[in-house]
Amino acid sequence: MSERAKIKTTIKQAVEYWSNLIDECDLSVDWAEADTHCWRCGCEKNLQRCHIIPHALGGEDSPENIVLLCGRCHAEGPNVRDTSIMWDWIKAYKVPFYETFWIIQGQKEYEFIYKKSVLQEIKDISAKANIEDKNVIIDKFKSLYDGAMKNASIHYGQPYFNTATIAGIYRMIFNQLCKEFNISLG
Ligand SMILES: [Zn+2]
């Protein structure tokens, strides 16, 4: 192998390449911060240089085949021989603020499991408990949040709550809210 072939594409080179082709308005990350944030979810932990087309499918170590993803986004990403698929996927998950990405995914997971959105659940609980001031529910929700967090943990080796855990935290809070208001969930 030549010396040149051993040199891996840097994240900086990948940012330079892709920032000319992909509009940051379509992403969860600004190009100015793209060397330190996951390009899908915007987080800063466990970042990995990822091949868009996998090495096993002939993908090369060159800027046009590299994106920066965190470990969990890397594990969930598409592994196919078509670069546009990776970008379709990254863009589809765009959120406006870094901290909201996994909360939003957790809310989607909640709706998938319990067949009702988090927002609708809050509306229904408010209606059943005859609470008209939504701040009352929000304050209650916040006060129960810490307790629910203590009953959840991060899977070994993972730096964050996964989406099912976030959905579970919502469910435990809703269960507790219903108990306090003496109503049933669902
Ligand atoms: Zn990520």
Class of domain 3-94: mainly alpha
Distance of CA 54 to the CA centre of its chain: 22
pTM for the predicted model, two decimal places:
0.82
Q: Which residue blocks in the chain are alpha helix, DSSP H? A: 3-6, 11-19, 71-76, 83-92, 101-114, 118-128, 134-150, 163-181
Residue extents of the structural domains in the chain: 3-94, 100-181
Q: How far is the CA of 73 from the centre of ligand 1 (A)?
A: 4
Question: What is the Å distance from ligand 1's center to 28 Cα?
Answer: 10
pLDDT digits (tens, 9 = 90+) for 102-156: 999 999 999 999 999 999 999 999 999 999 888 888 899 888 988 888 888 877 6
Report how far ligand 1's centroid is from the alpha carbon of 38 (Å).
Answer: 5
The residue among 23, 52, 22, 47 whose CA lies nearest residue 35 is 47
Q: How far apart are CA 173 and CA 163, in angstroms?
A: 16
Residues whose CB falls within 8 Å of the CB of residue 184, separated by 6 or more in sequence, listed in order? 128, 178
Q: How far is the CA of 139 from the centre of ligand 1 (A)?
A: 30
CA 63 / ligand 1 centre spacing (Å): 19
